[in-house]
Structure 1
Amino acid sequence: MWSERVDPAVVSPAEHRPPASEAKFLSVEALGKSFVPGKPVFDNVHFTIARGEFVCIIGHSGCGKTTILNVLAGLDTATSGHVFMDGREIAGPGLERGVVFQSHALMPWLTVRKNIAFAVESRWPQWSRAQVDAQVEQFVAMVGLHAAIDKKPSQLSGGMKQRVGIARAFAIQPKMLLLDEPFGALDALTRGTIQDELMAIVRETRQTVFMITHDVDEAILLADRILLMRNATDTSSGGIAEEVVNPLPRTRKRAGLHHLPGYYDLRNHIVDFLVHRSNA
């Protein structure tokens, strides 16, 4: 337990320990990125993600979190290192990875139905119109937007737009979901509601997720494991400083999170890293 001062990098409750065959569904090996020659933003980044695991990465702005996610998405290339998913090296974008950004990235001239249908048709071009419609309606219902299915983005609130983005990502049934602060622009009440919805959907679908967040409580609520990223300095590059396994029960809910034994120890450890140790 955290109160016993166990090193958080090695805490590994049995409920979070994946079978050996699934332990390296995603493998990041010696990843590095430099925008200026000789001055890497991060270097020698190693981590793995198990199939069905939810991993959050936390660090200060500019430490390279989004660059790592973009490399996983195939939207950027690393200066060094490799990323493998399900036994194959990632070398570009692919429909086996669904991406949700902080900005919803919806096509404004299309309705909710057609925004999601566009992705579904790209994933399964051989499907009939009835099959596409059934897939779209299933995932629109999953995020509670059936009443808005034929509305355009301009008719939706910020939270509803993000629900559409989440539905679109899930509708193509990706092997992995990549989330870049998807709730960062939402008000606290909407953010909390969608966090709960996302958690329920991920549990139902057993989706593998990699998520960037600046919100410590969001990471504690959602993640099985939390990667703490240090900043680059004048004398050292950035990278993953610690991997913290979340010891709280997976059945945790946002409303009762702060009542769980070990919550404050976990939160204080992460905050202490961000305040005092992220530049080490």
Structure 2
Amino acid sequence: MSNDISTSRPFVQVDGLAKTYRAGQPPVFEKVDFTIARGEFICIIGHSGCGKSTILNVLAGLERASAGTVIMDGREVAGPGLDRGVVFQSHALLPWLTVEGNIAFAVKSRHPDWPKEQVRAHGARFIDMVGLTSAARKKPAELSGGMKQRVGIARAFAVEPKMLLLDEPFGALDALTRGVIQDELLAICAATRQTVFMITHDVDEAILLADRIFLMSNGPQARIAEIVMNTLPKSRTRATIHHDPQFYPLRNHLVDFLLRRSKNVQQAGIDVTDLPLFTTDLEPT
């Protein structure tokens, strides 16, 4: 884990989180406990139905848990707020506004007293960060899928949230576009020291982006079965990551969990607090 991540106290503290949709049915997930340090990048992986998106929605304040608490920066999360930015699987842009207008709409919600020119200048900085300055006057219908997702990311960053929540934001993109945006996300997070909680089904993406990777057992009654430390150097890139001797042991462990162990943990009723923390045998550099 990077040395610039604060370890004085957890920035996010999640205790005993559970979600049940109907009385008499087992919870989708239960006994979910974890912490996130300020500036840390977390990826969460698990099969469909284990409640990943619901956990993210609870962190965002968009959904209420059946049990448990979420404390962020010393305050309980009880509803949505501009201290959390969310990027969904779809871009969710306003189709009648340009790229510039979509970003300005978000900035004005954060800073309603700012004059128009200040809003525009602030938004332009984040449009430039995602490489869309030349498309600032275009509407969503004129953009590719990857460009739309970049606008969504720029919009989330533009409100300067304390935590960024990403729900498989690159899942519908082709591999080349996904890679370009991953690089941009890494660069922005490094520059802003942004705290990120991200859902992904892509093991390689998690290894590239995350400081720690949360592995969910199968639902119902899913839990965080393992927390995997990413010991690869923070300077990792898409082009070189697979050459690192730590890459394949880490990747194989994640894939093995998804193929076999997540199901076994759920079926056997294993107390996940007894499972070890996984790291590669090599020291981080």
TM-score normalised over the length of structure 2: 0.90
What is the aligned partner in structure 1 of residue 184 from structure 2?
A: 197
- Residue among 24, 39, 43 paired with 2:10: 24
What is the aligned partner in structure 1 of residue 155 from structure 2?
A: 168
CA displacement at 1:17 relative to structure 2: 8.0
What is the aligned partner in structure 1 of residue 20 from structure 2?
A: 34
What is the aligned partner in structure 1 of residue 227 from structure 2?
A: 243
Q: Which amino acid aligns with 2:124?
A: E
Q: Report the secondary structure of 1:254's partner residue.
A: coil
**C-alpha separation between the residues in 1 aligned to 2:214 and 2:67?**
20
Q: Report the secondary structure of 1:35's partner residue.
A: coil
CA displacement at 1:102 relative to structure 2: 1.0
CA displacement at 1:173 relative to structure 2: 0.4
Q: Please, what is the CA RMSD of the aligned residues? A: 1.1
Contact 2:7 2:37 in 1 (8 A): no
Q: Which amino acid aligns with 2:14?
A: V
**C-alpha separation between the residues in 2 aligned to 1:254 and 1:134?**
32
User: 1:242-264 CA deviation, whole Å, 9 max, x = no partner?
Assistant: 10010000000011111012100
Q: Report the secondary structure of 1:116's partner residue.
A: helix
What is the aligned partner in structure 2 of residue 136 from structure 1?
A: 123
What is the aligned partner in structure 2 of residue 225 from structure 1?
A: 212
**C-alpha separation between the residues in 2 aligned to 1:124 and 1:100?**
20
Q: Report the secondary structure of 1:127's partner residue.
A: coil
Contact 1:16 1:224 in 2 (8 A): no
What is the aligned partner in structure 2 of residue 71 from structure 1?
A: 58
User: 1:184-239 CA deviation, whole Å, 9 max, x = no partner?
Assistant: 00001000110011011100110000000000000000000000000125xxx101
The 5-angstrom pairing of residues 70-219 of structure 1 reads 70-219=57-206
Judged with a 3 Å threshold, the aligned counterparts in structure 2 of structure 1 residues 101 and 241 are, in CA distance, closer, same or farther, namely: same
Q: Which amino acid aligns with 1:48?
A: T
Q: Report how many aligned residue pairs link the two structures.
A: 263
What is the aligned partner in structure 2 of residue 6 from structure 1?
A: none
- Answering whether residue 249 of structure 2 is matched by residue 262 of structure 1, we say no
Contact 2:6 2:38 in 1 (8 A): no
CA displacement at 1:16 relative to structure 2: 5.2
CA displacement at 1:36 relative to structure 2: 2.4
Q: Which runs of 5+ in 2 are unaligned?
A: 266-285
Q: Which runs of 5+ in 1 are unaligned?
A: 1-12
Greater alpha carbon shift after TM alignment, 205-214 vs 29-38? 29-38
**C-alpha separation between the residues in 2 aligned to 1:240 and 1:19?**
23
TM-score normalised over the length of structure 1: 0.92
**C-alpha separation between the residues in 2 aligned to 1:232 and 1:139?**
38
